[in-house]
Amino acid sequence: MEIKNVTVIGAGVLGSQIAWQSAFHGFNVTIYDIDSKALDAAMEKHKGYAAWFKARRGATGEEVQNTFGRLTYTIDLAEAVKDADIISESVPEVLEIKKDFYKKLSAVAPEKAIFTTNSSTMVPSQYAAETGRPEKFLALHFANPVWEANIAEIMGQPKTDKHIFDRVVEFARAMGMVPIPLYKEQSGYVINTLLSPLLAAAGNLFFNGVADFKTIDKTWMISTVAKFGPFGIMDLVGMQTMYHVMLLKAKQTGDLNAQKRAEAIKVNFLDKGKLGISTGEGFYKYPNPEYQSPEFLK
Site residues for ligand NAD per CB under 6 A = 9-15, 33-35, 38, 90-93, 97, 101, 118-120, 142, 144
* Closest approach of ligand NAD to the CB of residue 141, in Å: 6
User: Any residues with CB less than 8 A from the CB of 121 and at least 6 apart, and which?
Assistant: 93, 187, 188, 248
Residue closer to ligand NAD by CB (options 3, 80) is 80
Say how far apart CA 150 and CA 139 lie, in whole Å.
16
* Closest approach of ligand NAD to the CB of residue 14, in Å: 4
Residue closer to ligand NAD by CB (options 188, 214) is 188
* Closest approach of ligand NAD to the CB of residue 144, in Å: 3
* Closest approach of ligand NAD to the CB of residue 175, in Å: 15
* Closest approach of ligand NAD to the CB of residue 148, in Å: 12
Which amino acid, one-letter code, is at 55?
Answer: A
The arrangement of strands across the sheet holding 86-89 comes to 71-74, 28-32, 5-9, 86-89, 114-117, 137-142, 151-156, 178-182
Residue closer to ligand NAD by CB (options 22, 90) is 90
Residue closer to ligand NAD by CB (options 102, 206) is 102
Residue closer to ligand NAD by CB (options 216, 230) is 230
Residue closer to ligand NAD by CB (options 22, 120) is 120
Cβ contact 213:231 at 8 Å: yes
Burial tier of 43 (Cβ tally within 10 Å: 0-12, 13-18, 19+): middle
Number of residue whose CB is nearest ligand NAD: 12
* Closest approach of ligand NAD to the CB of residue 294, in Å: 30
Cβ contact 24:50 at 8 Å: no
Say how far apart CA 258 and CA 127 lie, in whole Å.
28
Residue closer to ligand NAD by CB (options 105, 250) is 105
* Closest approach of ligand NAD to the CB of residue 101, in Å: 4
Residue closer to ligand NAD by CB (options 78, 267) is 78
* Closest approach of ligand NAD to the CB of residue 69, in Å: 23
Query: Among residues 99, 94, 135, 96, which one has the least CA distance to residue 115?
Result: 135
